[in-house]
Amino acid sequence: MGLTEQGAPARSGIATTRLDYALDMIHRHGINWARKHSLWPMPFATACCGIEFMAVAASRYDLARFGAEACRFSPRQSDLMIVAGRVVMKMLPVLQRIYTQMCEPKWVISMGACASTGGVFDTYAVVQGIDQFVPVDVYLPGCPPRPETILEGLMAIQRIVREEGVRSSSERGHGLQMVIEPPPGVEMGPGFGERSLGDRASNPVL
């Protein structure tokens, strides 16, 4: 197709494909690529995990590299709820109301031991896992989770958006319920695995 030199063999410049293949490629590598880099978190921070999330958004770890630096405290402008910290029974209706006010599609990250299982607060006043009341897509273990773990959880949601597209929360049911392990190479602190728990309690490492 196009002009050729005199005497040169004619070469075809036409590529054929099926329309659904082309649309799937545009959807997967175009639209979903843009969607995965435009997650807007809604931090529901009630305890020390909220401080750790602030560190992730600061310059050292730079959440903006992943396109999720636009933290919105209005549920109508956000699509990723990050529950950071313990949730007491009095705050539970607020959590559920904010979740229902968020626009579809929306995701939920349960950050830390308190949000996921109640943590050390095994009392009647603290919710023993927010997944009993809202669908959770990603669990981040730790007290609090390291910034690398938080970034890994965010990238897990981005991988889901890129590979599977965007599905509403009703289609996902109880959420994806993915547990994120800390990435390899994350140090637990000086002497963490070298001494027993009793030794560390009697001689703490500062």
pLDDT tens digits, 142-163? 888 888 888 888 888 888 887 7
> Which tokens go with 55?
């560190």
What's the distance, Cα to Cα, between the start and end of the chain in Å? 73
Single out the residue of 184, 163, 173 nearest to residue 134, CA to CA. Answer: 173
Average pLDDT estimate for 157-177: 71
Residues comprising the chain, all counted? 206
Average pLDDT estimate for 125-129: 87
**Spatial separation of the C-alpha atoms in residues 152 and 111, rounded to whole Å:** 12
Q: What is the mean pLDDT of the chain?
A: 75
* pLDDT range class, residue 83, cuts 50, 70, 90: very high
**Which class in CATH covers the domain with range 41-182?**
alpha beta
Longest dimension (CA), the chain: 90
Q: What is the pTM of this model?
A: 0.69
Average pLDDT estimate for 166-182: 65
**Contact at 8 Å (CB) between 140 and 111?**
yes
What is the DSSP secondary structure assignment for residue 28, as one 8-state letter?
I
Kindly list the domain boundaries of the chain, sorted by start residue.
Answer: 41-182
* pLDDT range class, residue 27, cuts 50, 70, 90: low
**Per-residue pLDDT tens for 39-69?**
888 888 888 888 888 888 888 888 888 877 7
